[in-house]
């Protein structure tokens, strides 16, 4: 018996290299690892740039952003289609 690295369930396999009980667990693990990678390396390394970019975008597109937000809220309140 082996323990799935993703969900912690016991499963049986003859292949010693198998670490996950199912394809779903393997995919989940990949997804998590990718998210972690993005979170741990990309964002901190580029935090200032990302914040600055967002600030710039917002400053340059104030009307557009406001309009989009207005529409979004209207849609939420009235269920209006755009
Ligand atoms: Zn699993």
Domain ranges of the chain: 22-78
- The CA 74 to ligand 1 mean position distance, Å, reads 43
So what's the pLDDT on residue 82? 56
- The CA 26 to ligand 1 mean position distance, Å, reads 8
Angstrom distances, CA of residue 20 to CA of 14, 30, 34, 40, 67: 12, 11, 17, 24, 47
So what's the pLDDT on residue 3? 95
Low-confidence residues of the chain, pLDDT below 70?
A: 80-82
Angstrom distances, CA of residue 1 to CA of 5, 21, 25, 28, 67: 13, 11, 17, 21, 57
So what's the pLDDT on residue 8? 96
- The CA 35 to ligand 1 mean position distance, Å, reads 19
**What is the pTM assigned to this prediction?**
0.47
């Amino acid at each position: 018996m082996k323990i799935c690295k993703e969900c912690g369930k016991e499963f049986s396999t003859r292949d010693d290299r198998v670490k996950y009980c199912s394809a779903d667990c393997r995919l989940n693990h990949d997804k998590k690892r990718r998210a972690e990678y993005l979170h741990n390396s990309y964002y901190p390394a580029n935090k200032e740039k990302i914040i600055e970019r967002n600030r710039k975008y917002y400053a340059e597109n104030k009307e557009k952003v406001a309009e989009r937000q207005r529409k979004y809220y209207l849609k939420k309140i009235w269920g209006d289609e755009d």
